[in-house]
Structure 1
Amino acid sequence: MRPGLVRPDAGQRGRNRRVVVGLVWGALFLNVLTFADTQTVVPIPGSLAKLLTQGALPLALLLVVVANRRGVVRPQLFLVLLTLLAVGATAASLYAEFFASATFRAGRMVLFILVLWLLSPFFGRRDLLLLRCHRICLSVILGTVYLGALLSPGLAFAFQGRLSGVIWPIPPTQVAHYAAVLLGTSLLLWMCRVVVGRHAALMVVFSFLPLVAAHTRTALLAVVIGMAVASASLFLGHVRVRRTVAVSVATGALVAVVFASPLTVWLLRGQSAEEANRLTGRTNVWSAVAEIDRPWIEDLFGWGLSNQSFDGLPIDSSWVATYVDQGWFGVGMQGAVLLLLLLTALVHVRGPQRAIALFLVAYCTVASITETGLGAPSAYVLDLAVAAALLMPERREEAS
């Protein structure tokens, strides 16, 4: 075909492929969607939930083969590190005491990363395709949270007055996570003039309300730090960013002074200062993990992928959970992923891609202290995959 000529079906094929990529991302998101053991508006059997979430992964593989028929992959150090993490987890799981469950989880992790590899030709697109897919998934999930709150507000706020998902059972911490990521990316897209004010305002309100209602301190802190880091990367080149930062700082200082007492009560959530300092009992579990004595090989590579709990209690820290399951090797790979994305963002050209990637990396880093997910397939890994896609050099060719 001569340069400059476009095949008649190229536009339609491109649109179809974008739709398929969106379906792949949706299937990946369904695969990692948290299923809490809580009451819902319509009861969902656990076996059905597992069938839906676990069945979404092979569906994602099938769809990504349709989108990337030639099996093309782009060199991507981020995915190489995730692959090494999966290989280490698989090796440890083969010798785990809970062989069947650990090996099953490791196999799903390998398949998850394989789908990301097959999506790599869609990294670095000028139309921010994966970011758009990610935001659509977040919007749909939050839409179900809103629907549940409208249908059964008592049930939605049954857990200590914090907003939960009751159409699909989603704990408040994850509601806050989804809302925070949607809020931060919406603000940054508006500050970079990628989206118009009316659309941005709608998305900001849509995501801010569940973030506050979920009453999750880690997500609030993470979104503030993430926005500060991202805004700093745009501060010199965008007048709108400078104005927004100035107004936000002034407003935040005023609110902190005027409403200091109510804010303190709200942040404590009825806990004592000692309970808050112990992070709602999380530090007790972390201390117990630090005291375990195990062979050096398990200390280095862990004892296989688990449900990220210790003695029946949730670990609630990506770093501690990764150490338990994948040892110091896993902790090192997890840290390397975050460091790689941060360094790549710092040398990337200034713009919305860099700012949003910095926000996602900063958010996931802060959230990883009291949330699990960076060492196994999760919404946090999808956040980081979006960051990696934004930082990938642009190219015109697409997989076919």
Structure 2
Amino acid sequence: MTTIAVRIGNHLTTRLGARPTRRVVTPEVRRRRRVQLTWALLVLNVMTFFPGAPHVLPIPGSVGKLIAQGALVGALTVVLTVNRPVRVRPSVYVVLLMTLAVEGLLASVRAEFLLGALFRAGRLCGFALVLWLLTPWWTRRDLLLVRTHLLVLWSIVASVVVGLLVAPGLAMTEGRLGGTLWPIPPTQVGHYSAVAIGVTIVLWMSGLLRRGAALTSVLVCVPVLLLTHTRTALIAMVAGVTIAGLSLFTARSRVRKAFAIGLAVFTLGALTLSSVVTTWLARGQDTQELGALTGRKAVWDAILAQPRSTFETLFGFGLSNKSFNGLPIDSNWLGTYYDVGLVGCAITIMLVLFVLTAAWFRPQGPQRALALFLVAYCVVASFTESGLSEASPYLLELTLAASLVYSSAVREGPR
């Protein structure tokens, strides 16, 4: 009734030549915006600033790192302003996540590089705390967190496209597309674009996203993904969309039509563009390099051969920057084993299995399909990417999947 009265008043004042009243922003809208800001700041926090990467804007490395790390403090501050008095929802996932954070903190006490390890462990604890404080918004029927995450991903991809238009030489360093407005490695650009494509397709298949918006998203993000030459992101996205689509296959005709069209396109492409696809997948590497997984296998073998005590076997060497002897580990499971040992690996596996099991037994619908896509993507990517045991986009998206399969999701959460 209040909204109708405001509209009638605006109409009458306009007809009489008076200035219409401004639109009133309700408290629930302000709360929703602060929740969205909190999530956006979490994404900014995991967008590590790489000062050595080529970028257009003259941002000093110290300033860029301060912005990225300070975003976590900002997220904690904003979420405390909206979650008053502090309320959290009980969740097995949250308990496991907080256990992983505490275990990482304990393992880092004995780390060789103590200050760096303790900083990363403290960051993981703060990251988990913010995610815990966001649990009251897990049960919203409008999928606020999912839509916010998609909007943030679109913004990141848009910044990459703008950087490509402004400085194509810098953006295509070594023949792979990276971010230049904010230095983003090609692998991360591929990750963001692949997740944006997958979430867009699942939302469209579920009837929750208009065709025009979905088509625009796909037409922009697919070329970005292909220009990054990131094979892991592409394979994980295809696997996730396939699993999510199968969960909706019997419920929606548009899903069946999409699968039929996709199968036809795949068959046609396999017959006519096989050489192009093979060249793209090879990425200029020979058979020996592909067999060694672009140098990853040597690093993995060295990690497994690393001498360690019983404590280090169980709890690891403390949180690192996911590198070994100066080389990236590029494996979630070996990186987790190196940092937090077998105990950390077990907790991470329980995190994934809990979300996957909850999604599997959830009734058919958009929440289940989105959760299955996100979990499948994280599992496939985890073999050559790291992040499920640290503050990263992968942990953020696994938490997003957990929010979609929360047992009390039938109830409307706070606005």
With normalisation by structure 2, the TM-score equals: 0.92
4+ aligned runs moved over 4 Å, structure 1? 8-11
* Mapped partners of 2:298, 2:363: distance in 1: 43
Tell me, yes or no, if structure 1 residue 126 matches structure 2 residue 112.
no
Distance 1:350-1:11 versus aligned 2 partners, 3 A rule:
farther
SS in 1 for 2:134: helix
Q: Which residue, out of 60, 64, 67, partners 1:45?
A: 60
Give the root-mean-square deviation of aligned CA atoms: 1.5
Tell me, yes or no, if structure 1 residue 358 matches structure 2 residue 372.
yes
1:259-270 alignment, distance < 5 Å: 259-270=273-284
1:50-61 alignment, distance < 5 Å: 50-61=65-76
Structure 2 letter corresponding to 1:290: L
* Mapped partners of 1:300, 1:359: distance in 2: 31
Tell me, yes or no, if structure 1 residue 205 matches structure 2 residue 206.
no
Structure 2 letter corresponding to 1:398: P
Give the conservation status (yes or no) of the 8 Å contact 2:197–2:218.
yes
Partner of 2:414: 398
* Mapped partners of 2:400, 2:261: distance in 1: 29
Q: Which residue, out of 150, 153, 160, partners 1:145?
A: 160
Partner of 1:316: 330
Partner of 2:397: 383
Shift of residue 397, structure 1, vs aligned partner: 4.4
Partner of 2:170: 155
Structure 1 letter corresponding to 2:43: F
Give the conservation status (yes or no) of the 8 Å contact 2:41–2:72.
yes
Partner of 1:110: 125
Q: Which residue, out of 91, 94, 105, partners 1:76?
A: 91
Shift of residue 11, structure 1, vs aligned partner: 7.7
Structure 1 letter corresponding to 2:164: A
* Mapped partners of 2:152, 2:320: distance in 1: 27
Shift of residue 396, structure 1, vs aligned partner: 2.6
Q: Which residue, out of 278, 301, 309, partners 1:287?
A: 301
Q: 1:348-396: CA deviations, max 9, x gaps?
A: 1111111011000000111111111111000111111111111123223
Identity %: 47
Shift of residue 44, structure 1, vs aligned partner: 2.1
Q: Which residue, out of 321, 324, 329, partners 2:343?
A: 329
Q: Which residue, out of 184, 187, 196, partners 1:182?
A: 196
Q: Which residue, out of 240, 244, 248, partners 1:226?
A: 240
Distance 1:85-1:259 versus aligned 2 partners, 3 A rule:
same
Shift of residue 188, structure 1, vs aligned partner: 0.9
* Mapped partners of 2:99, 2:186: distance in 1: 32
Structure 1 letter corresponding to 2:66: L
Give the conservation status (yes or no) of the 8 Å contact 1:124–1:391.
no
Structure 2 letter corresponding to 1:109: L
Give the conservation status (yes or no) of the 8 Å contact 2:44–2:71.
yes
Q: Which residue, out of 234, 247, 257, partners 1:243?
A: 257
Partner of 1:372: 386
* Mapped partners of 2:30, 2:208: distance in 1: 23
Shift of residue 302, structure 1, vs aligned partner: 0.3
* Mapped partners of 1:247, 1:374: distance in 2: 34
Partner of 2:43: 29
* Mapped partners of 1:343, 1:23: distance in 2: 30
* Mapped partners of 1:179, 1:262: distance in 2: 21
* Mapped partners of 1:97, 1:175: distance in 2: 32
SS in 2 for 1:69: coil
SS in 2 for 1:74: coil
SS in 1 for 2:212: helix
| Unmatched 5+ stretches in structure 1 | 1-7
Distance 1:119-1:10 versus aligned 2 partners, 3 A rule:
farther
Q: Tell which deviates more after alignment, 94-103 or 390-399.
A: 390-399
Partner of 1:87: 102
Partner of 1:298: 312
Q: Tell which deviates more after alignment, 34-43 or 70-79.
A: 34-43
* Mapped partners of 1:257, 1:332: distance in 2: 43
Tell me, yes or no, if structure 1 residue 166 matches structure 2 residue 172.
no
* Mapped partners of 2:47, 2:377: distance in 1: 18
SS in 2 for 1:241: helix
SS in 2 for 1:388: helix
* Mapped partners of 1:275, 1:124: distance in 2: 46
SS in 2 for 1:165: coil
Shift of residue 335, structure 1, vs aligned partner: 1.0
Partner of 2:362: 348
Give the conservation status (yes or no) of the 8 Å contact 2:236–2:380.
yes
* Mapped partners of 1:274, 1:217: distance in 2: 17
Structure 2 letter corresponding to 1:396: E
| Unmatched 5+ stretches in structure 2 | 1-5, 7-22
Give the conservation status (yes or no) of the 8 Å contact 2:48–2:68.
no
The count of corresponding residues between Structure 1 and Structure 2 is: 391
Give the conservation status (yes or no) of the 8 Å contact 1:316–1:370.
yes
With normalisation by structure 1, the TM-score equals: 0.95
Looking at CA atoms only, which structure, 1 or 2, has the larger radius of gyration? 2
* Mapped partners of 2:221, 2:402: distance in 1: 23
SS in 1 for 2:26: helix
Give the conservation status (yes or no) of the 8 Å contact 1:180–1:207.
yes
* Mapped partners of 2:405, 2:413: distance in 1: 17
